[in-house]
A and B are shown apart, each in its own frame.
Chain A
């Protein structure tokens, strides 16, 4: 198998994730798009790990999974807080910091 076919799959998923982050207004959907991006990174890490014959990429992939779990936990807690305070989770309504 080619190295490039896995890297291309990672690139496609990454671009779809970036599109989702830009397009979505709902905070939960933005978190889902970030999960797509993190998974594409994991595919790249494991493909390079197999190409170079080293185990380091696997370690990094496990760390990425753990950090993603922590990020989703804190992110959804923030979304809940936002919903409790303003009855909506639209990201475009968070504009108090606009000058």
Chain B
């Protein structure tokens, strides 16, 4: 490794944010309080937005903050409050054979680590790539990816109508 292209500041930032994200994700799947899990999920999602900024994706990071932290978390908290009589620690959040999850996750992670080390080894990201502008992104969406964009509009429409139909009482 050459010291000049180590990008010390970015690497320190990546490490700190990644550690916070992993701790937050572990708390999401281990905590016994649904509201705490939702708030730890906010930490993970905000960390993901920071990683997107490190990956030169400003617009996606802003969208992540708006859509996930703004809208999806409100939905989760509403869902928690509408389906729970009490808010606090609970004892029966896990399956009775929950221990089967540990070997599955560990084996999956080992496989992924081996595959990634084989495939990408010590390849580097380009350190001088410009930030992707919103204009480039919109040229992509409304150019070659217009048809998926239409399909996505119909998916959102169907989801809105479906949510209303499912949850209205009559």
Chain A interfacial positions (CB closer than 8 Å to B): 1-9, 11-20, 22-26, 28-29, 31-33, 35-36, 39, 42-43, 46-47, 49-51, 53, 55-56, 58-59, 61-63, 65-74, 76-81, 83-84, 89-90, 92
Contact = CB atoms under 8 A, between A and B. Distances in A.
Contacts of B34: 26, 28-29
Contacts of B28: 16, 20, 32-33, 36
B41 A36 contact: yes
A81 B166 CA distance: 7
Interface string B143-170: 0010010001001101110111011010
Contacts of A18: 101, 104-105, 108
Given A3-B123, A19-B104, A23-B101, A39 B29 contact: no
Given A28-B34, A32-B76, A50 B63 contact: no
B100 A4 contact: no
B126 A53 contact: yes
Contacts of A6: 14, 51, 55, 125
Interface string B15-29: 000100110011011
B160 A73 contact: yes
Contact of B59 (A7, A53, A58): A58
**Most chain B CB atoms below 10 A, which of A1, A43, A53:** A1
A95 to B, nearest CB: 13
B103 to A, nearest CB: 10
B87 interface: no
* Nearest 5 CB-CB pairings of A with B: A70-B159, A20-B29, A22-B101, A19-B105, A77-B166
A50 B132 CA distance: 9
A53 B129 CA distance: 8
Interface in B40-68: 41, 44-45, 48, 51-52, 54-57, 59-60, 63-64, 67-68
Given A3-B123, A35-B45, A77-B167, 17 more contacts: A6-B14, A8-B113, A11-B109, A11-B116, A12-B22, A13-B44, A23-B94, A24-B94, A32-B37, A43-B48, A47-B125, A49-B55, A53-B126, A73-B163, A77-B162, A77-B163, A92-B95
A78 B146 CA distance: 30
